[in-house]
Amino acid sequence: MGIATIESLNTEQASIVQENLGLFLAAIPITQGMNWGRDHGADHRTVMGLFGQFEGDPSTRRAEAGILFRSGPGARGVVLVQSKVKPINLPSGAAVITDGGLVADVGSEVTFQIAVNAVISKSRSNFRTPAADPVEWARKKLAPALWVQDAKLEDIKITTSAMSGALVISSITGIATVTKREALADFVTNGVGRAKAFGAGLLTIQK
């Protein structure tokens, strides 16, 4: 399993997830030299650099490789990176497991962690505004897969990038009941909401 650096990469968790989605899950320690969390464009490039050279269309290769990441919640002091392909340029101290991506059966009560770019699109335009209540936004987004019993906002981070401007990412944790396993598997594999290339969308659960 490698060197564990966060609680979610413990032996018990690994034994559960091996029966499920078969994704890679890595914990990358945040070091001072990374300048993490200031420029989401730079964060994106740092994460993509873990995977070496990609072939194909640059606009779709992240999604095709299933690369999602976040630096919280459930990942304090590390960047949690999930992917369909194995990262090959792991720094010292990184932890990685294969067969990651936990899902659960309908009716199971789970705890969840997610980082989201909670925005609302205006009709007939591309203009988007931040949601007044990120927790309620997440509750509605997760509704096809989870009935959220309780959730709380853990943190809000605002980063900037010369190419795309400001980005607001809300970290949310909660307790939920699985209502549709297939929908949950899709959320876990492909992420939730927008800005998945910049540290939003990664959903993880624990039983």
pLDDT tens per residue, range 67-86: 999 986 555 688 999 999 99
Query: Mean of the pLDDT values across residues 109-123?
Result: 89
Please check whether residues 79 and 116 belong to one and the same domain.
no
Please check whether residues 48 and 131 belong to one and the same domain.
no
pLDDT tens per residue, range 27-50: 899 887 777 888 999 999 999 999
Beta-sheet pairing, 167-178 with 109-116: antiparallel
Please check whether residues 86 and 150 belong to one and the same domain.
no
Number of domains in the chain: 2
For position 190, what pLDDT does the model report?
A: 95
What does the CA dihedral 80, 171, 202, 191 come to, rounded to 10 degrees? -170
Query: Mean of the pLDDT values across residues 44-67?
Result: 88
Q: Measure the CA–CA gap between 158 and 34, rounded to whole angstroms.
A: 17
Residue 1 is assigned to a structural domain of this protein: no
Residue 2 is assigned to a structural domain of this protein: no
Please check whether residues 12 and 95 belong to one and the same domain.
yes
What is the domain extent for residue 32? 7-100
* Stated pTM of the model: 0.85
Please check whether residues 88 and 119 belong to one and the same domain.
no
Q: In Å, what is the CA distance from 129 to each residue of 40, 75, 126, 168?
A: 19, 27, 10, 10
Residue 131 is assigned to a structural domain of this protein: yes
Closest CA to 184 of 97, 109, 98: 109
Please check whether residues 148 and 93 belong to one and the same domain.
no
Taken in order 186, 148, 202, 199, the sign of the CA dihedral is: positive
Q: Measure the CA–CA gap between 137 and 125, rounded to whole angstroms.
A: 20
Q: Measure the CA–CA gap between 69 and 34, rounded to whole angstroms.
A: 15
